[in-house]
Structure 1
């Protein structure tokens, strides 16, 4: 298993368009979604015809490239048979075969040029300005994952990627919107965190046979401060979650946490859920109240962050 060494702009773009279609979910993305919806150029909306709110898209749309130009070149050079197969797969999930999608499947040159312009415009509008924060969040995330691998091993690292993952013998089981079995045949796994995707794992086989596992970063983009922080803990988990972790040195209810963070109870519950899934806090219900407090790992991060 390897961890990706840098974020992939088109992977993040695809997940961002998946999140744009979520309504009423993930309150940390609410303001981002409203702002992006207002400012997204009309030509970029075409990408929604290809990307599902389940986070899935045609594999040719989001290659794990190092930059936009490399990725766009890979998109536009997709073999016709692969494009048709991927578009057919997406339409079978939940996308409609619109006239433009049919033209893409028929290898219509104008349709593919329109796709290239849509991807470039969307990248400029959604990814380019946020890229420094995406990079900072990505590198903090991968450093933390590497620490888990070193201290707790491969099994713990994989089960901590997203909620409700478990090992059943030698099989890794994870929640997914539809049944899907993947056999690696010894080719290995690449872990690719996404700052735009807080949901289930996403999986895609690469040309070399390895499995690309896209998983939610502990700190999604809306929780990352625009300015660079000198606090290592804030750099790792974001200002809001760093403050939540500090508050949870003492047991707090969700209401207490919301009051301490000056956020709504729903937003506080979301912060606690993510910290809990990362193994940094534990939660226990007592009647109508949910109590939260730091785990040894959370305390360890606080101590080393302060140092």
Structure 2
């Protein structure tokens, strides 16, 4: 059981993150990719993302040799760029070394050269990490980020309304009911004692991770509790392709599926085995529904799925 100890001062320093934070949400998604549970719901999503992850993202696996990530990755930041910059700014050399020693302790795996370079503070190793984070973000989060923002706004509004009508205690116990004598308990979470000691608490909903709450507890900083919010992202279960075809029509569903990269009308027609005029008409219908965008470049037009269109393909 997770037990968070508040002082009187900490109750005045609880806040809900007003906007989603890309780096923690990305880490939650990557953890969910490696999680073995909820295969029925997440199996197809995992398969698609694992196929979509570029080689540039592979070094991230070296940071979690046993499924445990180093704490210097625990940062917030309201943009991807800000979050990536904070990873390096917030992590001093000694902290990076101690955390790499911790995650590799007792393991037979030999750290790859870039991890040894990160341990030594080499500039090239930090660039490897930044490239891997950026590549993973583009493949995993970028297609659904507008939806994450919408879900976060709804979650923030719900909590704000609860605080306004019933007080902070009611908002906290709506997430986990065990608040008593300055200790907030989360049943079912990993056993851990967290003492805020006047640092305060930031509550951050996550829409990918479906396990217990994730805690960022770093010296001198507010503790951040990332908790699974609502039903998470509406990921499509197996068999959704048939359902999507039933709603859009099989040709339009196939058109969305083949848009793995921007394509011209001629390329779409060739992939679908239809005329250019027919491909253009289907693209226009999907564009009107907000599922793809069309951009003119010179004499050609290129079609690409919107974030909503990408989500429907998953």
Q: Which runs of 5+ in 1 are unaligned?
A: 225-307
Count of aligned pairs: 221
Give the structure 1 partner of residue 215 of structure 2: 203
Once the two structures are superposed, residues 244-279 of structure 1 have per-residue CA deviations (whole angstroms, 9 ceiling, x without a partner) of: xxxxxxxxxxxxxxxxxxxxxxxxxxxxxxxxxxxx
Give the structure 1 partner of residue 116 of structure 2: 102
Q: 1:26 to 1:166 in 2, by over 3 A?
A: farther
Other structure's SS at 2:194 match: coil
1:3 and 1:192 in contact (8 A); partners too: yes
1:172 paired with 2:163, answer no
Which of the numbers 120, 135, 154 marks the counterpart of 2:134?
120
1:193 and 1:216 in contact (8 A); partners too: yes
2:213 and 2:227 in contact (8 A); partners too: yes
Once the two structures are superposed, residues 46-85 of structure 1 have per-residue CA deviations (whole angstroms, 9 ceiling, x without a partner) of: 212324897x632332421111111222223432112112
1:11 and 1:64 in contact (8 A); partners too: yes
In structure 1, C-alpha distance between the alignment counterparts of 2:65 and 2:154, rounded to whole Å: 28
In structure 2, C-alpha distance between the alignment counterparts of 1:215 and 1:52, rounded to whole Å: 24
1:205 and 1:212 in contact (8 A); partners too: yes
How does 1:1-307 map onto structure 2 within 5 Å?
1-25=14-38, 27-51=40-64, 57-77=69-89, 78-91=91-104, 98-99=111-112, 100-161=114-175, 166-175=178-187, 178-205=190-217, 208-223=220-235
Q: 1:158 to 1:122 in 2, by over 3 A?
A: same
Give RMSD over aligned pairs. 2.8
In structure 2, C-alpha distance between the alignment counterparts of 1:36 and 1:73, rounded to whole Å: 25
Q: 1:209 to 1:27 in 2, by over 3 A?
A: same
Other structure's SS at 1:160 match: helix
Larger-Rg structure = 2
Other structure's SS at 2:208 match: coil
Q: 1:103 to 1:192 in 2, by over 3 A?
A: same
Other structure's SS at 2:47 match: helix
Once the two structures are superposed, residues 113-149 of structure 1 have per-residue CA deviations (whole angstroms, 9 ceiling, x without a partner) of: 2111101111111111211011011111111122233
Other structure's SS at 2:18 match: coil
TM (norm. structure 2) is 0.62
In structure 2, C-alpha distance between the alignment counterparts of 1:115 and 1:84, rounded to whole Å: 15
In structure 2, C-alpha distance between the alignment counterparts of 1:95 and 1:185, rounded to whole Å: 38
In structure 2, C-alpha distance between the alignment counterparts of 1:212 and 1:181, rounded to whole Å: 14
Comparing both chains, which one has the higher relative contact order based on Cα–Cα distances under 8 Å and sequence gaps of 6 or more?
2
**Deviation at residue 191 of structure 1 after TM alignment:** 0.6
**Deviation at residue 207 of structure 1 after TM alignment:** 6.2
TM (norm. structure 1) is 0.64
Q: 1:32 to 1:179 in 2, by over 3 A?
A: same
Once the two structures are superposed, residues 202-231 of structure 1 have per-residue CA deviations (whole angstroms, 9 ceiling, x without a partner) of: 11135653111111111312349xxxxxxx
